[in-house]
Amino acid sequence: MFKVGIVLFDDFTDVDFFLMYDLLGRAADSWTVSILGTKPEHHSHLAIKVKTDGHVSAVADQDAVLITSGKRGIPAAMKNAEFMSALNLDPNKQLIGSICAGSFILHELGLLKGKPLTTNPDAKTALQSLGGNVQDTPLVIEGNIATAGGCLSLMYLIGWLAERLFDSNKRKAIQNQLIPAGQLALFEALIATTIQSAELANSHNNHTKLVSEFRTENMQFN
């Protein structure tokens, strides 16, 4: 069983957390899900309280870590020294994802500085002002890190996680019950194509980086 941690904080966006938690819960036989924060419970933007399963520092023990969002919650969390210092994430050993403004945290941690990422369209300008290389796409994959922009892009984010840990059949088993009646083929094509396109861009970017590093090393050698 894989271990998946959801990072929570006060004033999180309700749909981002609850849809993420629901989607993950549809594969309870494949992974355990822990809600991690700095307090025994955190309240949402709509004042719904959610109990945590452990301190946010437990992210280091997870196979995958997903960061939620929040228009007010993210700025406050980024100013919380306890919260930020506890986020010991390692993309070489973990799968890491964020929804909407959660990418601000990954950027602030230095995991995506100068690298492609995405966020909620309304937050694009703010993230760009911090130096973020924001793409106008719903899903951006950079190595083992995926950022998703727009609440409903959680279908892509969780789909990416399911495919990385298992395969497309696992993704379909999670998503198919949520698809509107009569539109399964339409949504399947959209979700599959979105994830494949993001993975293809990721492969291209990493190949270009390796070629650039090789050329640089040889220039220095010469």
Q: Which long-range contacts (CB under 8 A, 24 or more apart) does 105-109 make?
A: 105/7, 105/67, 105/74, 105/77, 105/78, 106/67, 106/145, 106/147, 107/131, 107/132, 108/78, 108/84, 109/84
With cut-offs at 50, 70 and 90, classify the pLDDT of residue 15: very high
Using CA of residue 60, residue 112, residue 157, residue 201, what is the dihedral sign?
negative
Least confident of 134-143, 162-171, 198-207, 213-222: 213-222
**pLDDT tens digits for 24-48?**
999 999 999 999 999 999 999 999 9
Q: What is the CATH number of the domain that holds 169?
A: 3.40.50.880
Q: What's the pLDDT at 210?
A: 42
178: helix, coil or strand?
Answer: helix
User: What pLDDT, on the 0 to 100 scale, is given for residue 204?
Assistant: 74
The Cα-based distances of 127 to 31, 71, 139 in angstroms read 32, 12, 16
Instruction: Find where tokens 């819960």 sit.
Output: 25
pTM of model > 0.85: yes
Mean pLDDT over each residue of the chain, to the nearest integer: 93
pLDDT exceeds cutoff 60 at 92 = yes
Q: Decide: 130 and 178 in contact? Cβ < 8 Å.
A: no
Structure confidence at residue 213 (pLDDT): 43
pLDDT score of 203:
84
What is the pLDDT at residue 209? Answer: 54
Domain that holds residue 24: 2-220
Find all residues with CB under 8 Å of 119, minimum gap 6, and list them: 100, 101, 103, 104, 127, 132, 134, 147, 149
Helix (H, G, I), strand (E, B) or coil at 180: coil
Which neighbouring-strand residues pair with 4? 33, 64
Residue 221 has what pLDDT?
A: 39
DSSP 61: G
Helix (H) or strand (E) holding 99: strand 95-99
Distance CA 3, CA 130 (A): 32
Domain count, the chain: 1
pLDDT in tens, 125-137: 999 999 999 999 9
Structure confidence by residue, pLDDT tens digits, 96-128:
999 999 999 999 999 999 999 999 999 999 999
